[in-house]
Amino acid sequence: MSQYLDDSETRSPEVREAALMARLPVQLAHAKSQSSWYATVLAEFDPQAVASRADLARLPVVRKHQLLELQRKTLPFGGLTATPLAKLGRVFSSPGPIYDPEGTGADWWRFGRSLYAAGFRAGDLVHNTFSYHFTPAGFMVDGAARRLGCPVFPAGVGQTEMQVQAIADLRPAGYVGTPSFLKIILDKADELKADVSSLKKAVVSGEAFFPAQKQACAERGIAAYQAYASADLGVIAYETSAREGLVVEEDLIVEIVRPGTGEPVAAGEVGEVVVTTFNPDYPLVRFGTGDLSAILPGVSPCGRTNVRIKGWMGRADQTTKVKGMFVHPEQVAAVVKRHPEVARARLVVTNADGNDVMTLHCEAVASDPLKAALADSIRDVTKLRGEVAFAAAGTLPNDGKVISDDRKYE
């Protein structure tokens, strides 16, 4: 039995990229013609002229935090869907609320690869503890498992003792849910002296999966793998047996951009994960997830050849309140854009004497005229006074932070 779900996982990077770029103009044309929001956003763009990553980078980014505002104006999906509500399969609600559609296609959320990479095979009973209530996570797993030929126990969340009893009785092959809830179940099983040793594999998502948690699972004989997913996009990337980063899904284009901008960063640099999907029902183009990550070099030792990302590395939305006013990453980007001499910048907020102080640290050749010009730009863009400090090229931390709140309150 193959260790890969299909041949697309091992095709050459060049063949994959050519295939994605060939599909891109078609998807953009579909979004422009079928989605009222994209009809407006892409009005000045010819889809047929967007056939490379450089072309794609010229298109605007729509960020997750904008969905709430868009949906308030145009319910239920902000005009971003390309399939009428009456022809969808389900509608979900995430906190906000933000409404998410689900179409009727098999494995619509693309969760199948992550299950397969974690060792789930036809006939394996999946103990699915993601919620089937309001949010889509439960159905993400459910549809993928059934497509692989895996029966599903729809456990949902809570009722830990009943979860343990079901595992002991039904002997599922693996668990899917958050890593923290897996630990709760295992601890409760120890307390009840219940046999849950049938659990040999797991896919965890929804929160960070720390090395200590992974080791704890391994010590119990459970091989647990991460899936990086969102309620808007489904699975974006997944962990494999190589345990080196997360492999990007086959039917997505993933970019890493400087937070607050749409500009792709250099390979290896931390930035915001921006995704373009080929989903015909919800054709999100350059969707900013608000999550930070970075591209890993080379190809995974597991044999899968797609791009890898390091995994979740924090949030890109670093909006900070200074002296009663919000300062956004987009504002920092606007300041830097005015001064091409600045290669990279990081706004650091401190309060050493109890007063908020903003200092823009810039990778640039120091000069008094540039310092004065930057200070003017800071005041013009943010309506606040800010200091300027110069740094040597390549010395600012590579952690994706555009704004670093270093204030201490003790």
Dist CA 322 CA 188 (whole Å)? 45
Give the model confidence (pLDDT) of 388-401 as tens digits: 999 999 999 988 88
User: Which amino acid does the sequence have at 297?
Assistant: P
Dist CA 83 CA 71 (whole Å)? 16
- What is the full per-residue pLDDT of the chain (410 aa) written as tens digits? 689 999 999 999 999 999 999 999 999 999 999 999 999 999 999 999 999 999 999 999 999 889 989 999 999 999 999 999 999 999 999 888 899 999 999 999 999 999 999 999 999 999 999 999 999 999 999 999 999 999 999 999 999 999 999 999 999 999 999 998 999 999 999 999 999 999 999 999 988 888 888 999 999 999 999 999 999 999 999 999 999 999 999 999 999 999 888 999 999 999 999 999 999 999 999 999 988 999 999 999 999 999 999 988 887 778 788 887 878 888 999 999 999 999 999 999 998 876 789 999 999 999 999 999 999 999 999 989 999 999 999 999 988 889 998 887 55
Q: What is the predicted pLDDT for the residue at 409?
A: 59
Using the structure block, give the residue that is written with the tokens 């990081």. 346
User: Strand 223-230 to strand 201-204: parallel, antiparallel, or no bridges (unpaired)?
Assistant: parallel
Q: What is the predicted pLDDT for the residue at 131?
A: 94
Q: What is the predicted pLDDT for the residue at 94?
A: 86
* Ordered structural domains, the chain, with CATH: 7-251+299-309 (3.40.50.12780), 320-405 (3.30.300.30)
- Cα 241-139-254 angle, rounded to 5 deg: 55
Q: What is the predicted pLDDT for the residue at 1?
A: 67
User: Would you call the peptide bond into 60 cis, given omega within 30 degrees of 0 as the criterion?
Assistant: no
Give the model confidence (pLDDT) of 330-385 as tens digits: 899 999 999 999 999 999 999 887 678 999 999 999 999 999 999 999 999 998 99
Q: What is the predicted pLDDT for the residue at 260?
A: 82
